[in-house]
Amino acid sequence: MASEDSFLVLVHHRGSIKRKTRSGVKFTDKDPLCIIVRPTTGYDALVSSVLEKLGLEGSNRNANTIATVAGSSSRLAVASSSVPVYEPAIQPVASPSFAVDLSGNVGDEVRYGEHHLTELRCPTPAGVGEGLFDDPDDDDVEPDMIADDSGDDLGASHPRRATGGSSSGTQQYPPHFSSLDLDAMRHDKNPGQPAGFGARDTEGSAGMTEFQVGQQFQDKDEALLSVKTYSIRRGVQYKVVESNYRRYVGKCSEFGNGCTWLIRLSLRQRKGIWEVKRYNGPHTCLATSISSDHRSLDYHVIATFIMPIIRADASVNIKVLLNATAAHFGFRPTYRRVWMAKQKAVAIIYGDWDESYNELPRWVLGVQLTMPGTVAVLRTCPVRVGGQLDESQANFHRLFWTFPPCIEAFHHCKPLVSIDGTHLYGKYEGTLLVTIAQDGNSNILPVAFALVESENAESWSFFLSHLRQHVTPQPGLLVISDRHNGIKAALEAPDGGWLPPAAYRAFCIGHVAANFALTFKGKDARRLLVNAAYAKTEVEFDYWFDILRSENLAMCDWANRIEYSLWTQYCDEGRRFGHMTTNISECVNSILKGVRNLPVCSLVKATYARLAELFVRKGREAEAQLGTRQQFSQYLVKCIEANLKTARCFTVTVYDRDNSEYTVAETTPTGSFSLGSYRVSLASQTCDCGYFQALHFPCPHALACCAYSRLTWQPYVHQVYCLSSIFDVYQIGITPPIPEDFWPPYDGPTVIPNPNMRRAREGRPRSTRIRTNMDDADPNRPKRCGLCRQPGHTRRSCPQAGRPTHTGGNK
């Protein structure tokens, strides 16, 4: 038998190869050569050893029959499952924080009393007076529910406990994994335990040493995890002979064919621990097949391995988890299995997927006790079993919620909102609807949320009606959205409160341009349409529209079918404040991307915690700026400074003695479109360039007039840009939640998820994201490798692609 510092190499030198087998490529050689190779053995020495075994030493036989894998380390990659895994160490990297306190599990029932669709409000009990952004470029979409290999369900009432730490060794992988804290993967949760994530040697390498009789484990899950890890690390297979609540027996798949490996573990009832009672090891068999997967690498093992990653960032996509798992174990599991593992890890960390629905009502009561004035509207549907109404249960349907600081903050924000919807990931389908406001410093602020089944007329009507009632009752409000028919129906409802002059609607020009590009190909035409939409004067709009008409008259006919006030800036009467797209909503989709992977109650908790952090950070920034006696936001100061530089090139003529009416002549053009001469009225805060009335602060021409008449420009700035207004946005913070023990009880039926929202159990479904021209990559952006994310080469020629995907072995 080989020593601790040597390899046992299996060399197939005759026979045939079967390529179409269940486990991959299979060698049928019945008499392979066994050669012991030390880590210091060179290529020439290995070839000499093979030739010597074959009795061909000194012959002219081609020595290239054995080769190393290109791009790998000095370790040889050979067709043998009996070669131990030697993996280079990797430098620890920082991990992005998932700064949301989701501790505490609640679970009571929601009141339900009618047999039809019900709307339940959670009243306040009587007498009870940034660094959060996810990567916006990460567009990977989680798939629907997929069946597991073992048939076990995810998020069961008693999920398996995360045990132990992982192996200290890991294969080197591309730099784009650097956002993961691989040190966290090696964290041993129970350092005092004799065994954790597999049996350990003196260096802490998991699964590389043999089991010992008397070795103990905290529970059966930990014991099974150790046996599976051992099997994966050794690259061998075993089968379960007996498994029940008291005993677990496994033996090698080649037991009786030259291998005697067997392990028997039993429960010690008095101590409640599992112990190795019998062990025949190590394996004496030699595998004769190569496979990129391993039967013991099931989603339970993967879930334990990826637990620290999910705890640090629940939004990490499946491709990253799959590659990390392959690099760590040396085997590449299926996408389906890794997805199942992620769902299990999320359920263990953030709560069971099904029970999370029943935790919502009581958590809402706890928040209302903490912050009186919190609005939460829960709707449920009746449950029927065998045609009979089950009054003990109710299906979750919709939930609207907002917090008092958000309601108060909106009074000091710009008088517009952007609404958007984003899909949920995980075990159950659904859509998160969000309303976004913006302060005078261009900071986005989510002010209202809703969980609904999908984007349709009924769900948008539910969301917008409560938004109007509880958060945005101000007259003259502007709503920016895409052209979804459900939004259109909800806003045009006679009793919705969103019709002019109470409220106005505007389209996101990004969505309009994307729809335009579906009919008319070519980026030049699309650019002309966008330029026309951004035009702040009718003259400039006509300039770009005439160019578009010269390209294709049908393009203008298409644009003319949409009312100008909905997509052009010069017709919006200054209501947009320069916002032409729903990019603020798209940005929030990135901010909340991590929470979209969580069970519903944890998602709602996350909005509470993230808003608390947002209010603290932005409030401190505003307070610090006020302390320096600044008057306006940083955003406005930068704009004014840029306008002042441009204003130096103008000639000003005053036309009245009250110093309010002027003409300004540009000595040199200041942009791609210029009128040459502009009329400015400081009294009405207008300018022929359109910037003054569109952005609500002085344009370069207005600043030139102020300088000419020795007037200050500050009185002509909208109040929303003042630091005092921005401070008022964040003045009321989020209160720390009251401990769960002090929450009021909630009596009612158990809230359960709608079974119709359960994702498909089979197959890998299509992405829920509808990709449009807005998702096109920037043509000037350098192309990167799809594997290592580095520029200069493609996936096909990536040097990382040559690394061995797995080796395994037996000492």
Which among 44, 82, 81 has a CA at the least distance from the CA of 66? 44
For residue 195, give the amino acid letter: A
How many Å is the Cα radius of gyration of the chain? 33
Of the spans 40-44, 229-233, 325-329, 715-719, which averages the highest pLDDT? 715-719
| Least confident stretch, 221-225, 396-400, 565-569 | 221-225
Contact 220, 250 (CB under 8 A): no
Name the band, by pLDDT with cuts 50, 70 and 90, for residue 22.
low
Task: Give the per-residue SS3 of 340-407.
Answer: HHHHHHHHHHHCCCCHHHHHHHHHHHHHHHHCCCCEEEEEEEEEEECCEEEEEEEEEEEEEEECHHHH
Which among 451, 359, 447, 468 has a CA at the least distance from the CA of 403? 447
Q: Is the pLDDT of residue 163 over 90?
A: no
Helix (H, G, I), strand (E, B) or coil at 447: strand
DSSP string covering 699-757: -HHHHHHHHHTT--SGGGS-GGGBHHHHHHHTSS-PPPPPPGGGSPP--SPEEE--GGG
Q: Is the pLDDT of residue 187 over 70?
A: no
pLDDT of residue 25: 61
DSSP state of 25: E
DSSP string covering 637-675: HHHHHHHHHHHTTEEEEE-STTS-EEEEEESS--SSS--
Name the band, by pLDDT with cuts 50, 70 and 90, for residue 170.
very low
| Least confident stretch, 95-104, 140-149, 380-389, 547-556 | 95-104
pLDDT of residue 155: 41
Element (H, E) at 238: strand 238-243
Which among 604, 302, 205 has a CA at the least distance from the CA of 432? 604
Q: Is the pLDDT of residue 595 over 90?
A: no
Which among 696, 693, 703 has a CA at the least distance from the CA of 642? 703
C-alpha–C-alpha distance, residues 136 and 31, integer Å? 56
Q: Is the pLDDT of residue 219 over 70?
A: yes
| Residue 168, C-beta contacts closer than 8 angstroms, at least 6 positions apart | 186, 203, 204, 205, 206
More confident position, 593 or 440: 440
Which among 149, 80, 148 has a CA at the least distance from the CA of 291? 80
Name the band, by pLDDT with cuts 50, 70 and 90, for residue 768.
low
| Least confident stretch, 12-26, 119-133, 173-187 | 173-187
C-alpha–C-alpha distance, residues 766 and 768, integer Å? 6
DSSP string covering 475-543: TTEEEEE---HHHHHHHT-TTSS-STTTEEEEE-HHHHHHHHHHHS--HHHHHHHHHHHH-SSHHHHHH
For residue 160, give the amino acid letter: R
Other CB atoms within a 10 A radius of the CB of residue 76 amount to 22
Q: Is the pLDDT of residue 502 over 50?
A: yes
Which among 603, 506, 522, 478 has a CA at the least distance from the CA of 562? 506
C-alpha–C-alpha distance, residues 307 and 310, integer Å? 5
C-alpha–C-alpha distance, residues 713 and 696, integer Å? 12
| Least confident stretch, 27-41, 121-135, 212-226 | 121-135
Q: Is the pLDDT of residue 113 over 60?
A: no
Extract the runs of DSSP E, i.e. beta strands, from 112-233: 118-121, 216-217
Q: Is the pLDDT of residue 88 over 70?
A: no
Side-chain-facing half-sphere of 159: CA atoms under 13 Å = 28
CA 471 remoteness from chain centre: 28
Backbone dihedral angles phi then psi of residue 221, each to the nearest 5 degrees = -60, -45
Burial class (CB in 10 A: 0-12, 13-18, 19+), 10: buried
Share of the chain above pLDDT 90, in %: 41
Structure tokens at 754: 């709608």
More confident position, 597 or 678: 678
Q: Is the pLDDT of residue 562 over 60?
A: yes
Helix (H, G, I), strand (E, B) or coil at 158: coil
Element (H, E) at 328: helix 318-329
Backbone dihedral angles phi then psi of residue 370, each to the nearest 5 degrees = -70, -45
Task: Give the per-residue SS3 of 80-126.
Answer: CCCCCCCCCCCCCCCCCCCCCCCCCCCCCCCCCCCCCCEEEECCCCC
pLDDT of residue 672: 65
C-alpha–C-alpha distance, residues 536 and 531, integer Å? 10
Name the band, by pLDDT with cuts 50, 70 and 90, for residue 356.
very high
Residue entry with tokens 């679970």: 107
Structure tokens at 549: 């008409």
Contact 585, 434 (CB under 8 A): yes
Which among 619, 608, 629, 637 has a CA at the least distance from the CA of 734? 608
Q: What is the pLDDT of residues 774-800, one digit of tens each?
A: 555 555 566 777 666 677 787 677 776
Structure tokens at 709: 């008449």
pLDDT of residue 271: 85
Name the band, by pLDDT with cuts 50, 70 and 90, for residue 556.
very high
More confident position, 785 or 514: 514
Q: Is the dihedral of CA 244, 245, 247, 248 positive or negative?
A: positive
For residue 659, give the amino acid letter: N
Other CB atoms within a 10 A radius of the CB of residue 434 amount to 22
DSSP string covering 454-468: SSSHHHHHHHHHHHH
Mean pLDDT of 702-717: 94
Name the band, by pLDDT with cuts 50, 70 and 90, for residue 422.
confident
| 445 to 26, 462, 466, 482: CA distances (angstroms) | 59, 21, 18, 19
Residue entry with tokens 């009581």: 362
C-alpha–C-alpha distance, residues 375 and 403, integer Å? 6
Mean pLDDT of 94-98: 30
Name the band, by pLDDT with cuts 50, 70 and 90, for residue 205.
very low
pLDDT of residue 35: 73
Extract the runs of DSSP E, i.e. beta strands, from 161-234: 216-217
Other CB atoms within a 10 A radius of the CB of residue 380 amount to 27
Length of the chain in terms of residues written: 811
Backbone dihedral angles phi then psi of residue 504, each to the nearest 5 degrees = -130, 155
- Strands 686-687 vs 216-217: parallel, antiparallel or unpaired: unpaired
C-alpha–C-alpha distance, residues 404 and 435, integer Å? 15
Q: What is the pLDDT of residues 428-448, one digit of tens each?
A: 999 999 999 999 998 889 999
Q: Is the pLDDT of residue 30 over 80?
A: no
Which among 475, 156, 481 has a CA at the least distance from the CA of 300? 156
pLDDT of residue 720: 96
For residue 486, give the amino acid letter: G
Q: What is the pLDDT of residues 41-77, one digit of tens each?
A: 887 788 777 777 776 655 444 433 333 333 333 332 3
For residue 36, give the amino acid letter: I
Structure tokens at 670: 């200041």
Structure tokens at 775: 């998702």
More confident position, 293 or 244: 244
| Residue 764, C-beta contacts closer than 8 angstroms, at least 6 positions apart | 143, 144, 146, 335, 336
Considering all CA atoms of the chain, what is the largest pairwise distance in Å, rounded to the nearest integer? 112
Looking at every residue in the chain, the average pLDDT score rounds to: 76
Q: What is the pLDDT of residues 738-763, one digit of tens each?
A: 888 888 888 889 999 999 998 876 55
Helix (H, G, I), strand (E, B) or coil at 569: coil
Contact 220, 300 (CB under 8 A): no
- Cα first-last separation, the chain: 7
| Least confident stretch, 126-130, 274-278, 561-565, 568-572 | 126-130
Q: Helix H segments across 147-268?
A: 182-185, 220-234
Residue entry with tokens 């999910």: 310
